[in-house]
Amino acid sequence: MQRRGEARRVEELNYGKAPVRLCAGRLDSDEVAEEPPGLRRPGRGREGALANRLAHPAWAAEPNPAHLALARLARSTISTQVITQNIDGLHQRAGTPPGRVIELHGTISGVVCTGCGDRTAMTDALARVRAGEDDPPCTRCGGILKSATIMFGEALEPAVFKRAAAAAAGCDLMLAVGSTLIVEPAASLCAIAAEAGAALVIVNRDPTPYDTAATAIIRDPIGVAVPRIASQLLAASRV
């Protein structure tokens, strides 16, 4: 690790060899802390709560070049963990093995009962909506169903964050991609990685609070920078 404040572009870094353990994360997004459609709030009903999910933009979204590049790394000999606060499942759709994706804010692909905690597929709940159930209840206990995502006022699941923190502490290289790094506690994963001795590479258009801890800062577009970094790391792993 070089001294703080001396961040360089990734092209100038001498990896020597590819990292054995890579941690890549988009550590904040526009999708965090969703409006809670699955919970009754004072003065508001639940009419169409799950029906609103039928038109969610996640269903039409497609993996971009950065998703695909990270998937290449995750399928390589480089042990890769992808940490995300996005709920769209695009990393898995891009080809990253599900076991290597840590979804800090959950996933829109599932629903959870607020009563008994039973988890089922969102596709099953939406099929019931299409069949005429405006607000389908839990089939196990009759409780309220909500998407399996973190809502306003909800804390991250401790076990999920613990897994993310362990990945950050154990990696050789942390890529923080497309993040302003202001949403906590997720952004603190950068500090965990850097303090454990990992190289921290930040790929973001604008400055972040963690720039002074970075080994490299890249301002290029994500769709250009991440595939380039992936190709460099994969080439180094074959040396």
- Distance CA(186)–CA(85), nearest Å, equals 8
- Distance CA(64)–CA(106), nearest Å, equals 20
Taking alpha carbons only, the member of 62, 134, 139 closest to residue 95 is 62
Amino acid at site 95: G
- 56 in catalytic set: no
- SS3 for 52-92, per residue? HHHHCHHHCCCCCHHHHHHHHHHCCCCEEEEEECCCCCHHH
- Distance CA(227)–CA(230), nearest Å, equals 5
Amino acid at site 184: E
- How big is the CA angle at 215 (ends 230 and 101), to the nearest 5 degrees? 45
Amino acid at site 120: T
Give SS3 for 113.
Answer: strand
Catalytic, out of 56, 67, 91, 105 = 105
| Contact indicator for 166, 139 with CB cutoff of 8 Å | no
User: Would you please indicate which residues are annotated as catalytic (active-site) residues?
Assistant: 105
